[in-house]
Amino acid sequence: MPSTTPSPTTRKEALLLRRYEIGHVLGQGSFGKVYVARNVKTNEQVAIKVIDKEKILKGGLIAHIKREISILRRVRHPNIVQLFEVMATKTKIFFVMEYVKGGELFGKVAKGRLKEEMARKYFQQLISAVGFCHSRGVFHRDLKPENILLDDNGDLKVSDFGLSAISEQICGDGLFYTFCGTPAYVAPEILGRKGYEAAKVDIWSCGIILFVLMAGYLPFRDQNIMIMYKKIYRGEFRRPRWFSPELSRLLKRLLDTNPETRITISAIMEDKWFRKGFKHTKFYFEDDKIFSLKDEEVDDDCIAYASDQSATESESESDGKRRSRPMSLNAFDLISFSPGFSLSGLFEDGSEESRFVTGAPVFKIVSKLEEIAKVVSFSMRKKDCRISLEGSREGVKGPLIITVEIFELTPSLRVVEVKKKAGDKGEYEEFCERELRPGLRPLMHPGTCGPKRTVSAPE
């Protein structure tokens, strides 16, 4: 951080929206820069991606930005860089991200191949993160060492979801058709331009990364990119002599040019070479909200997305007690609920994230959730207007964890957001059908029953 005392004008620019002290530039892209910054209240270091709003409007990328926010809200995992909050002014959009200090994994590989134990550890963490993304319907599509960061503890963090896709984008035939990715890491089926399964594309890229970690160079290389593409398409590469038989067998399955027979995430986790020293990651994020600005913290020009009040403090009650008040929704919250803010149905079929409107007070909603949790022997944790329901038994993908968050839409209306945080999708749908849907139906606001309608956030 600069040690000299800045002028009043510089000070206003350096202290972003009265919350973050901006430091040096970490990187620069087509639509803005990334800065290191300090939260003046908590003293925590963060990375802030500053996006030029005019550029994304001219480039027609508003939908892209909305999708990236939606994706980052879905994939909260210890081995994925976190998005803390989103803010905006008339001219800029700010992504406040976790600051990962250890640099890119590419920096380690550039010095030469890694020891097998270290390469295995990174690969295990990578597969854990990618598998979690896939379970949440998110596909990265640009996995490479440059998009993987290392923290102070030497743990891996997947970043840069700019080219990611979500399951809702899949065409009717179950495939994607967008040509994307980095040449040396692109899967052969993308080169064939006949449609591809995004999950299988990510697995191919993971295979390339594992090869690079262990060999210190790429499996498919050539100065002529078309020749390199031919090698990728044919799967032509040589394994170094120091690769163990177990590693070679795994790589052969990872870099299988036929996506139909290519190894799956679950099969990778059962592989003998992979399982050595592997421990399943168990985690819980106490706070799953991407916060918006409070009204008193907004500068005069900060009206595009963050001008509405979003109170998080407790308010005084007449009996002298203090009760949590739900966060108010502003326009950017509506954007973050992409692909739409549904006010019509309760628990849409096949969705892992649902919302409904209610006129019931917060204590009634919480009381009803407590009743449901008691009936099914779920443990319940509450922090302000965020509730977590956790199953007592290990399911197919671990215990079922459901989060419920209550927002204030108007003084008399609240939005209740319910989503699966962990566990099997089928178990979640069954729980919603048998317990949550019947239990919460009486709280649903009458005005939301009827034809489906969507409220879109203004661009």
91 and 173 co-located in one domain:
no
Mean pLDDT of 28-33: 78
Q: Which of 16-20, 299-303, 312-316 has the highest mean pLDDT?
A: 16-20
Do 109 and 66 sit in the same domain of this protein?
no
Among the candidates 44, 64, 98, a domain finishes at 98
**Residue range 447-457: mean pLDDT, rounded:** 35
Backbone angles phi, psi at 139, to 5 degrees: -125, 125
Tell whether 23 and 156 lie within a shared domain. no
Cα–Cα distance for residue pair 79/286, rounded to 1 Å = 16
SS3 state of residue 397: coil
Q: Is the pLDDT of residue 13 over 60?
A: no
How far, in Å, CA of 17 to CA of 85, rounded?
A: 13
Tokens of 369: 């959730």
pLDDT at 158 over 60: yes
Q: What is the mean pLDDT of residues 289-295?
A: 34
Do 347 and 258 sit in the same domain of this protein?
Answer: no
Residues 111 and 48 grouped into a single domain? no
pLDDT of residue 190: 92
343 within a domain of the structure (yes/no): yes
The answer to whether 202 and 135 are in contact (CB under 8 A) is: no
pTM given for the model:
0.63
**Mean per-residue pLDDT for 229-247?**
93
| Three-state SS at 237 | coil
Q: Which residues touch 294 (CB under 8 Å, ≥6 apart)? A: 309, 310, 311, 312
**In total, how many domains does the chain have?**
3
Residue 288 in domain: no
**Average pLDDT of the chain?**
78
The verdict on residue 169 lying in a domain is yes
Q: In whole angstroms, give the CA distance from residue 96 to residue 82.
A: 9
Considering the domain boundaries, does residue 221 fall inside one?
yes
Describe the chain by its helix, strand, coil percentages, rounded to 5.
35, 25, 45
Q: Which of 75, 98, 121 is the last residue of a domain?
A: 98
Q: Is residue 295 part of a domain?
A: no
- The mean pLDDT of 48-73, rounded to a whole number, is 85
Active site residue: 142, 256, 271, 384, which one?
Answer: 142
Residue 112, C-beta contacts closer than 8 angstroms, at least 6 positions apart: 216
Q: Please tell me whether residues 166 and 253 are part of one structural domain.
A: yes
Could you tell me which residues come within 8 angstroms of residue 438 by beta carbon, excluding any fewer than 6 positions away?
A: none
Mean pLDDT of 182-191: 93
Contact 46, 39 (CB under 8 A): yes
pLDDT the model gives residue 14: 54
User: Does residue 185 carry a pLDDT above 90?
Assistant: yes
Indicate the residue type of 344.
Answer: S
Could you tell me if 111 and 91 lie in one domain? Answer: no
**Per-residue confidence (pLDDT) for residue 100, from 0 to 100:** 94
For residues 419 and 74, give the distance between their C-alpha atoms in angstroms, rounded to a whole number.
10
> Are 227 and 251 in a shared domain?
yes
Q: What's the pLDDT band for 426 if we cut at 50, 70, 90?
A: confident
**349 catalytic residue (yes or no):** no
How far is C-alpha 448 from the geometric centre of its chain's CA atoms? 29
Domain identity same for 187 and 261: yes
Q: pLDDT category, 72, cuts 50, 70, 90?
A: confident
Give the whole-angstrom CA distance, residue 402 versus residue 186: 35
Query: Would you say 49 is a known binding-site residue?
Result: yes
Mark whether 22 and 51 lie in a shared domain: yes
- Among the candidates 48, 81, 98, a domain finishes at 98
Cβ neighbours of residue 3 closer than 8 Å, sequence gap 6 or more: none
125 and 178 in a single domain? The answer is: yes
Task: Kindly report the CATH number assigned to the domain that includes residue 416.
Answer: 3.30.310.80
Q: Which domain holds residue 16?
A: 8-98
* Structure tokens belonging to residue 252: 């052969």
In a domain, 297, yes or no: no
Same domain as 92, residue 111? no
Q: Is the pLDDT of residue 311 over 70?
A: no
Note the pLDDT of residue 44: 93
